[in-house]
Structure 1
Amino acid sequence: MPSLTFRTIQPADNQALAIIVRNALAEFGANKPGTVFYDATTDALYELFQQQGSIYYVAEENGVLIGGAGIFPSPGLPADTGELVKMYLSPAARGKGIGKILIEKALAFAKDAGYRKVYLETMPELRKAVSVYEKFGFKYLDGPLGNTGHFGCDVWMLKEL
């Protein structure tokens, strides 16, 4: 039986997470400009998530990092809105409910941190993720919120907590 653990990000997780994020984007043909594939913060997620109002959870199976998801107070978003960010899983982690647990943890943090809404940006290439977000009650928006700089994303969603 695999041993599955969830915890907050640690400095030693940076390299493994950057690989998971970039490999997932490349796998689905979403490794394009204007995405986190080219974002320098992808290599320093631990440091990024030290900001007030943010958190990043990672999942490990048998001691190997297999994915993560976080909440971040992205620039330009309303004060009551956090962003669900960097939700990526390695291929071995998919289809096991691990993403669902990571999203549940992130949404619970957002609510406890005082956010009333959670925003996300994604792209059609990540169809499976979009269907998961729909099941969580995220609704489609006509355009982006805030100033994430991710002009490569053209699916925007918002959930009321």
Structure 2
Amino acid sequence: MNVAIVDFRPDHAAVWAQLNTAWLAEGGFAVEAKDRLAIDNPQGVFLDKGGRIFIAERDGEAVGCCALVPTDDGVEVCKMTVTPAARGLGLARRLLEACETAARAAGAGRLYLETNSALTPAIALYESFGFVHLPARPTPYARADVFMEKRL
């Protein structure tokens, strides 16, 4: 088995949309307006703003993804998922490592993310990776009720 974390390419657009639509459905979440923009236009929402998108591949097949978008004081980690069949291989941690490496290279002061309290395996991963909980704050996502950061 060959696993790799690669940068998003235009030919990843369909699998990017599939991965993100699938995790939202799996979690019982609605596809919100901000989701729709990110799913339909990853180039404009992330890459054109100086962000990155990473794709986790297993034997050449995309099985996970994660994006970074610059913020005023760091970068936000967004749209992170690994397919159920590829979970347990450490790919989510590898995606986070790619995010942290890219953020540090860009001189970012922190990684920030928003998630939902029902996503307990993801929260446990973020905590083990050094993220700490923040107080609630305004967010465009109805589902977001957990806010975390990792200072770099």
TM-score normalised to the size of structure 1? 0.85
- Alignment partner of 1:114 out of 107, 116, 121: 107
Specify the alignment match of 1:49 in structure 2.
Answer: 46
The 8 Å contact of residues 33 and 152 in structure 1, kept in 2 or not, is answered as no
Could you tell me which amino acid in structure 2 is paired with residue 45 of structure 1?
A: P
The 8 Å contact of residues 81 and 118 in structure 1, kept in 2 or not, is answered as yes
- Alignment partner of 2:30 out of 25, 29, 32: 32
Could you tell me which amino acid in structure 1 is paired with residue 46 of structure 2?
A: F
Number of equivalent positions? 152
**Shift in alpha-carbon separation, 1:40–1:49, aligned structure 2, 3 A:** closer
Aligned-pair CA distance for 1:52 = 3.9
**1:1-161, aligned counterparts within 5 Å?**
2-29=1-28, 31-32=29-30, 34=32, 38-73=35-70, 77=71, 79-144=72-137, 149-161=140-152
Aligned-pair CA distance for 1:19 = 1.1
Structure 2 unaligned regions, length at least 5 = none
Aligned-pair CA distance for 1:34 = 4.3
Distance 2:89 2:147 in 1: 25
Structure 1 unaligned regions, length at least 5 = none
The 8 Å contact of residues 10 and 46 in structure 1, kept in 2 or not, is answered as no
Give me the CA root mean square deviation.
1.9
SS in 2 for 1:149: coil
Aligned-pair CA distance for 1:70 = 1.9
Aligned-pair CA distance for 1:123 = 0.2
Could you tell me which amino acid in structure 1 is paired with residue 130 of structure 2?
A: G
**Shift in alpha-carbon separation, 1:34–1:43, aligned structure 2, 3 A:** closer
In the TM superposition, structure 1's runs of 4+ consecutive aligned residues that sit over 3 Å from their partners are: 33-36
TM-score normalised to the size of structure 2? 0.90
The 8 Å contact of residues 13 and 46 in structure 1, kept in 2 or not, is answered as no
Distance 1:51 1:17 in 2: 16
